[in-house]
Amino acid sequence: GQNIDQPTEMTATEGAIVQINCTYQTSGFNGLFWYQQHAGEAPTFLSYNVLDGLEEKGRFSSFLSRSKGYSYLLLKELQMKDSASYLCAVPDSNYQLIWGAGTKLIIKP
């Protein structure tokens, strides 16, 4: 079966750095996605990793280790607008996304 784990909630301070972890167990691997979802809105795409290593995109970076079944999303210079849920997702063999439960990130001033 497939399983994705991520923390339920995290709190961080404005201007700081936060790392959101995701571990997965899948039969086969077709990459890993990170999405951001603000309350009441649809998810928006943040990153897609298929090879090991860190990919940086502005204030957001995503890391993947396929051998460890592990990924993290790194958010730097946190802003209040970054308060949202962050969803980790992996495609199954039909490329349909299997979603983690999401990590609710709370930013405090």
Partner 1 sequence: GAVVSQHPSRVICKSGTSVKIECRSLDFQATTMFWYRQFPKQSLMLMATSNEGSKATYEQGVEKDKFLINHASLTLSTLTVTSAHPEDSSFYICSARVSDYEQYFGPGTRLTVT
Binding site for partner 1 (CB under 8 A): 30-31, 40-45, 48, 50, 87, 91, 94-97, 99-102
- 85, with CB counted inside 10 A (0-12, 13-18, 19+), is buried
CB of 67 to partner 1, least distance (A): 21
CB of 15 to partner 1, least distance (A): 27
Using alpha carbons, list the distances in angstroms from residue 63 to 2, 6, 8, 80.
20, 14, 19, 23
CB of 43 to partner 1, least distance (A): 5
C-beta of 44 vs 65, nearer to partner 1 = 44
